[in-house]
């Protein structure tokens, strides 16, 4: 019965090694992509919460401005000192 030459057998083994290494790296890459997708989902949820917080803050700010304008009239406020400067209309 004939046998492969040592060079032919080495070529087959080298290809098998390359194939197995590539399959391993493909799996590792897929695992990284899954981890990145999960992190991206977490960041999107965090962003959505922060955007919601921003809208809540803007609403509260608008309500406060309305309340202060009703009490003091149209004025500019120095947030450091609380000084009111009437706005000329």
- Distance, first Cα to last Cα, the chain: 107
Q: Which two tokens stand for residue 19?
A: 């194939």
Could you tell me how many residues make up the chain?
Answer: 89
- Per-residue pLDDT at 40 exceeds 80: yes
Decide: helix, strand or coil at residue 78. Answer: coil
- Report pTM: 0.64
- Per-residue pLDDT at 89 exceeds 80: no
Which of the 8 DSSP states describes residue 80? T
Q: Where are the beta strands (DSSP E) in the chain?
A: 75-77, 84-86
Q: Which two tokens stand for residue 72?
A: 């003091």
Question: CA dihedral defined by 24, 25, 29, 35, rounded to 10 degrees?
Answer: 50
Q: Which residue has the higher pLDDT, 89 or 18?
A: 18
């Amino acid at each position: 019965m004939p046998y492969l030459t040592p060079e032919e057998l080495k070529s087959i083994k080298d290809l098998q090694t390359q194939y197995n290494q590539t399959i391993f790296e493909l799996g590792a890459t897929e695992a990284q992509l899954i981890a990145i997708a999960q992190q991206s989902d977490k960041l999107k949820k965090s962003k959505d919460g922060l955007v919601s917080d921003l809208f809540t803050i803007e609403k509260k700010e608008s309500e406060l401005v309305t309340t202060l304008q009703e009490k003091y009239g149209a004025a500019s406020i120095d947030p450091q000192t609380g000084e009111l400067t009437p706005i000329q209309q």
